[in-house]
Amino acid sequence: MNILILNSQSNNYHLNNLKKILLKKSNDKITVFKQKITSKFIKKKKIEVIISFHYRYVISNEILKIVKFKAINFHNSYLPKNRGVYPVLWSAVFNNFAICLHFVSKKIDRGDLIFRKKIKISKDKSLFFSYNYIEKNSLLYFSKIWISLRKKLIDNIRIKIIKQVNREGTYNNLFKSKILISSLNIGWKTKIKDVQKNYRLIKKYFK
């Protein structure tokens, strides 16, 4: 099976862990792509499954049709809460950390959920710790289901999804995210409790 990993980050050692999981018990061909994907590339490489892993671009409906909607995305929040950018930042603000994997759909972070699980993180931990802790747990959980998930994708077997009572959720604003980040003197080394404190101080400017 030809699998395409979409990842826009310049340096993410978790990406190597993802590739190891995908190749652990198979001879699948893995391609990693960081730029904006095109349907021409998908057809040329004969891509069958897409895995979005911190990818900054929107995957078009045209591309989803080519792979028969076999495209999944990792998202570090308790969807439908904190859709969009900087999910770990806003999960810290509202103390609602989680791992999540969902199908890619036309609308950003609105596809059916494959797994979703809340994660507890101490407020004395930093944003950087939180991000890596979530990544580690997300891939650990993914490693447990990948063989089964892969078989269902290959055989076109319907995959059981998590029913969502409320699909509206929340969407993270890029402008507000950048304001909050700029208020953190030590950036991603900032403790969760201090992120929450800063948010309380500046949230009046968000109105």
Tell the burial category of 100 from Cβ atoms under 10 Å away from its Cβ (0-12, 13-18, 19+): buried
Nearest to 193 by CA among 89, 120, 93, 119: 93
Both tokens assigned to 157: 């077997």
207: pLDDT confidence band, cut at 50, 70 and 90?
Answer: low
The answer to whether 17 touches 43, Cβ cutoff 8 Å, is no
CA distances from 79 to 94, 138, 139, 169, 180 (A): 13, 14, 17, 7, 21
For 101, the enclosing helix (H) or strand (E) is strand 98-103
- Write out pLDDT tens, residues 27-83: 899 999 999 999 999 999 999 999 999 999 999 999 999 999 999 999 999 999 999
Bridge partner residues of 73 (DSSP)? 52, 102
Q: What does the alpha-carbon distance between residue 207 and residue 202 come to, in Å, rounded to a whole number?
A: 10
**Strand, coil or helix: 136:** helix
Q: Could you give the domains of the chain?
A: 2-206 (3.40.50.12230)
Each residue of 128-177: pLDDT tens digit? 999 999 999 999 999 999 999 999 999 988 898 887 767 778 999 999 99
pTM of the model: 0.92
